[in-house]
Structure formats: C-alpha cells, structure tokens
Homo-oligomer: A and B are copies of this chain.
Amino acid sequence: MVEKKPTRRSIGAQRNPESEAAILEAAEAVLLEGGLSGFTIEAVAKRAHAGKPTIYRWWPSKAALLLDVYHRHKHSNFTYIDTGTIRGDLKDYLLSLIDAWRKETTGAIFRSLVAEAQADPATSEALATYMAERRRQAGDMIRRGQARGEVRPDAEPEIVTEMIAAFAWSRLLTNRLEMNEAEIEAFLDLLLTGIRNPQA
C-alpha cells in the first residue's frame, strides 16, 4: 500500500495573525465609515496597506471577509456561557443574539449578508459555512445539558440550536427584535417542554 502524504498547504495560505488582525481592523473601519456600498476589497487593501492578492488568499470572497468582520464585531458580546442550567444557557444565547442584532451596525451587516446570499452564490456559500460552524458551537450547550442529564439524550443538538437561531433570524428579518421578557420565556417554555398537553 502506498502511504498518502499529508496535503501540503502553500506557505502563502497560512494566515499571519498580525496581518490578519490588521486587515480585519481595516475592514471594520471601512465598513463603519462607508457602509456596505463602500465595502470593497480594494478599499480594505488600501486602508490596511496590504495587497489585494493577500486578502483574496485568506478570504476567497468579499462575503467571507464581511462575515469575519461581522463575527469579530458581534463576538465581544456573544458567547455560549455555561450558566449551570440548560434554560439559563439557552436564554443567554437567545438574548445575546438579539442584543447583538439590535445594535444598528451588527444587525445591519447580518441582514445585508442574508440578503446578498439570496442572489450571490459566493455569499451564500460563505454564509452556509459560517452558520454550520455556529450550529456546531451552539450545539455544545445542548451536549452539556445532555451530559448533566437535563436534556433528552435523543434531542439532536444542531436541530435545537437551529430552532433558536431560526427564531432570532425570523425576528431580525421582519423587524421584530423588540421581544419582551414574556415572549422570550414563552419561547423557552415551548422549547424545553414542547406543546403537547401532559394531561392528554
């Protein structure tokens, strides 16, 4: 049998953390100053004193770069905190999504990304990859709950987290992020105990 060599990535494809941070900072500045319409790889390259080929080597499309900027922007207020209970974890997750999107820039970037993904295949692919990674990460909350015995062992973690994210998307995309506490608790009740009447 012939042993396969591990695939060798070119040196150029390896991201240099300092340059990466500089490009992401430049991209965020370009976005905040000129909005989405002014957000081009050319403008980011100029601002970061980087070459366009360098940016394209690390981010295959404008959408991929925009998603990284979005995630970095959101991330400071966004975590999958272990609160000790599944209800606490999921409430924290939903609230952190809603809070992040209520901030004009973060919400607007994500809305634009979803909109562009409906027409542009590169954005669609970048968004799909991003969402798959988020579902995997958020799924850890469900797996923690299963390890604690709080969550049914047969609950599929990524379907649960998609149900939460989908509900938040639905609110973002129809301008209804202003949920009150009662609505959030009602949603969590449904998610935790379902709709079936226990008396039936």
A contact set with B: CB distance below 8 Å: 86, 111-112, 114-119, 124, 127-128, 131, 142, 145-146, 149-156, 159-160, 162-163, 165-167, 169-170, 173-176, 183, 186-187, 189-200
Contact = CB atoms under 8 A, between A and B. Distances in A.
Given A183-B159, A199-B149, A114 B193 contact: no
Contacts of A200: 149-150
A156 to B, nearest CB: 5
A160 to B, nearest CB: 6
This chain: copies in complex: 2
Contacts of A149: 197, 199-200
Contacts of A153: 197
Contacts of A186: 156, 159
Contact of A195 (B112, B142, B196): B142
A174 B128 CA distance: 6
B196 A192 contact: yes
A28 to B, nearest CB: 20
Contacts of A124: 174-175
